[in-house]
Amino acid sequence: MKTIAELQAIRDKAREKMAVREGDSDNIRVIVGMATCGIAAGARPVLNAFVDEVAKRHLNNVTVTQTGCIGMCQFEPIVEVLVPGKEKVTYGKVTPEKVAKIITDHLVNGSPVAEYTVGNLMK
Amino acid sequence: MRELSLNVLDIAQNSIAAGATLITIRVTEESAADRLSITVEDNGRGMSPEQLQKVRDPFYTTRTTRKVGMGIPLFRMAAEMTGGSLDIRSELGQGTTVMAVFTLSHIDRMPLGDIQGTVTALIRLNPQLDFRYIQTVDGASFELDTRKLREILGDVPLNQPDVMEWIGGYLRENLEPLRSQA
Ligand SMILES: Nc1ncnc2c1ncn2[C@@H]1O[C@H](COP(=O)(O)OP(=O)(O)OP(=O)(O)O)[C@@H](O)[C@H]1O
Ligand SMILES: [Mg+2]
């Protein structure tokens, strides 16, 4: 059973980790489109896949956030990746299956997955 | 939308867009009355009577990225298909409540689906906001209130991975015994 005592222990452990992490400047942001168009196209499982995978690989420098409709509904679910000092990359028609590759190639190794980008889908 | 829990995720996005800091989601199942009701209540900026009137017309939006709003019309359709209805109450500066009622046993009623996935997605993405999730099945109920969790967590954010894992498990363990038919 998940108990409050367990939550308190998680808090204490998290505080130790937070102290180590202070001063993180290389924060990568993953932004998932969460308007009606995105949700209807499957944004929820994509988001959950990102968060689970980021947690599993202990990528402490990655934050996953949301945005509304950015006006390209036909390409939803849309995920934008912002790496500090690099141009924003916009992925379209993202599925949970594509998430692992985006994380490995782009978030970890720094090379965007060209074939999944909206720019490539428009061709 | 194939699951009502996706509509809930979407309707809650309207609350987030309206600057709400507390969003309360209630799912209430009453088999005797053959009724399922879902409400999303927020303390966001609310709407004027004129605005509210427009929202009752399909496809009204204050978005600038596209010309139609789909969220409320889709939720309304899902309710009306089952012989139910959707109602919105809103007051400027106070907040908004969207209430949908469904006929529980109606063949066209979409399943509630992964409501736990919806609640965890909302918390994960908006750790600075507070959420209450209250599910009631024939009088038995469970409530999650992130304000209570925050009291325990202090400066540790709700979206810390181990905290999120705990919340997911806590929801699963407590919702299962309710034996929802929705
Ligand atoms: N909780 C709320 N608080 C304040 N205004 C709201 C709220 N819910 C809806 N509205 C208003 O009603 C409009 C229509 O909402 P609806 O969900 O149908 O479409 P949308 O959010 O604009 O676009 P979409 O849902 O398709 O992404 C919104 O643009 C907003 O102006
Ligand atoms: Mg909406």
Partners of residue B36 on adjacent β-strands: B29, B102
Mean pLDDT across chain A: 91
Residues with CB under 6 A from ligand 1: A 35-36, 69; B 14-15, 18, 42, 44-47, 55, 60-63, 69-73, 96
CATH number at residue A54: 3.40.30.10
Q: Give the number of the atom of ligand 1 that is nearest the alpha carbon of residue B44.
A: 3
pLDDT at A21: 59
Per the CB < 8 Å rule, is B114 touching A7?
no
Element (H, E) at B29: strand B22-30
Average of per-residue pLDDT values in chain B: 94
With an 8 Å Cβ cutoff, is B74 touching chain A? yes
Show residues of chain B in contact with A2, CB under 8 Å: 166, 169-170, 173
Total domains present in chain A: 1
State mean pLDDT over A15-39.
Answer: 82
Q: Cα separations (Å) of A28 from A34, A35, A58, A89, A110?
A: 19, 22, 13, 12, 11
pLDDT value at residue A123: 85
Per-residue pLDDT reduced to its tens digit, B85-106? 999 999 999 999 999 999 999 9
* pLDDT, tens only, A52-97: 999 999 898 999 999 888 888 899 999 999 999 999 999 999 999 9
**Cross-chain Cβ contact A8/B152 below 8 Å:** yes
Section B49-71 average pLDDT: 80
CB A90 within 8 A of CB A118: yes
Strand B35-42 versus strand B95-103 pairing type: antiparallel
Structural domain for B83, as ranges: 4-181
- A44 → closest Cβ in B66, B121, B154: B121
Residue A23's pLDDT band (cuts 50, 70, 90): low
In this prediction, residues A31-59 reach a mean pLDDT of 93
Lowest mean pLDDT among A62-66, B3-7, B44-48: A62-66
Q: Write the CATH number for B36.
A: 3.30.565
State which of B61, B91, B94, B98 you would mutate to test the pocket of ligand 1, scoring each by most atoms of that ligand within 8 A of its C-beta: B61
Q: Is B169–A2 a contact, with Cβ atoms under 8 angstroms apart?
A: yes
* Position in ligand 1 atom list of the atom nearest CA B10: 25
- Lowest-confidence segment of A49-58, A72-81, A103-112, B64-73 by average pLDDT: B64-73
Domain that holds residue A47: 4-121
Chain A residues inside the 8 Å CB shell of B156: 10-11, 14-15, 18
| Mean pLDDT, residues B73-93 | 96
Cβ(B29)–Cβ(B136) under 8 Å? yes
What's the CA-to-centroid distance between B72 and ligand 1, angstroms?
A: 7
- Residue B65 identity: T
Confidence category of residue A24, pLDDT binned at 50, 70, 90: low
Give the pLDDT score at A25.
Answer: 60
- Give me the number of domains chain B comprises: 1
From B21, B72, B96, the mutation candidate for ligand 1 (largest count of ligand atoms within 8 A of CB) is B72
Ligand 2 centroid–CA B69 distance in Å is 6
Two tokens, residue A77: 């679910």
Model confidence band, residue B149 (pLDDT cutoffs 50, 70, 90): very high
| pLDDT > 70? residue B7 | yes
For the segment B112-128, the average pLDDT, to the nearest whole number, is 95
The order of strands in the sheet holding B130-137 is: B85-91, B95-103, B35-42, B22-30, B130-137, B140-145
